[in-house]
């Protein structure tokens, strides 16, 4: 037999108050969650490009010959290594080299849409549509190159703002790094460009 003192639980009023408080907290957190998701997607896209550039450099050293990293909008398909049209705002990339018989060989090709991380509003803009690494892993053009990844529809790139944008930076010496252009490297922040 239960008496009133042993009956435990929530009244409907207590439940409604708890749900209202949870609703307010979720509503306050939604803008932050949206910015976090956009920043994470940009980071995923940037890591995809970083992987491709680093692969091109590694293959150049391994094969002891020049290897190209090509940005393209050509769809990834068979013979992409010869069909790819270089484009400084390409959303796909190809790593390729020319063998001793003058045939273009494919190392790897990827679309940034693989994995669903990149949205249609995300952009990649490069200083060069083709980055070639020599047999020592240096940038064959002897210049610094970069690929900037942003999402203009989500907001400006700002460390204190809603979205953090990324850059894949390639030095003339061939060093490849992933950094955030909005952060000042001179301030000692290693994430800055």
pLDDT tens-digit map of 136-147: 999 998 999 998
Give me the CATH topology for the region 33-187: minor pseudopilin epsh fold (3.55.40)
User: pLDDT digit string (tens) for 155-186?
Assistant: 666 656 667 788 899 999 999 998 888 776 66
Domain boundaries, the chain: 33-187
Kindly report the pTM of this predicted structure. Answer: 0.77
Structure tokens at 70: 């090509």
């Amino acid at each position: 037999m239960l008496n009133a003192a042993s009956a435990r639980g929530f009244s409907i009023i207590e439940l409604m108050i708890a749900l209202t408080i949870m609703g307010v907290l979720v509503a306050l957190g939604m803008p932050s969650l949206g910015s976090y998701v956009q920043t994470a997607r940009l980071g995923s896209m940037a890591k995809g490009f970083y992987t491709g550039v680093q692969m091109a450099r590694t293959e150049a050293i391994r094969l002891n010959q020049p290897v190209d990293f090509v940005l393209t909008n050509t769809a990834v398909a068979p013979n992409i290594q010869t069909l790819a049209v270089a484009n400084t705002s390409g959303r796909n990339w190809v790593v390729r080299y020319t063998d001793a018989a003058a045939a273009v060989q494919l190392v790897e090709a990827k679309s940034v849409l693989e994995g669903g991380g990149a949205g249609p509003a995300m952009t990649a803009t490069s200083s060069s549509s083709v980055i070639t690494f020599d047999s020592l892993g240096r940038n064959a053009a002897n210049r610094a190159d970069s690929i900037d990844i942003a999402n203009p529809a989500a907001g400006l790139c700002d460390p204190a703002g809603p979205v953090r944008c990324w850059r894949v930076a390639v030095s003339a010496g061939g060093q490849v790094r992933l950094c955030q252009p909005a952060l000042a490297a001179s301030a000692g922040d290693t994430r800055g460009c």
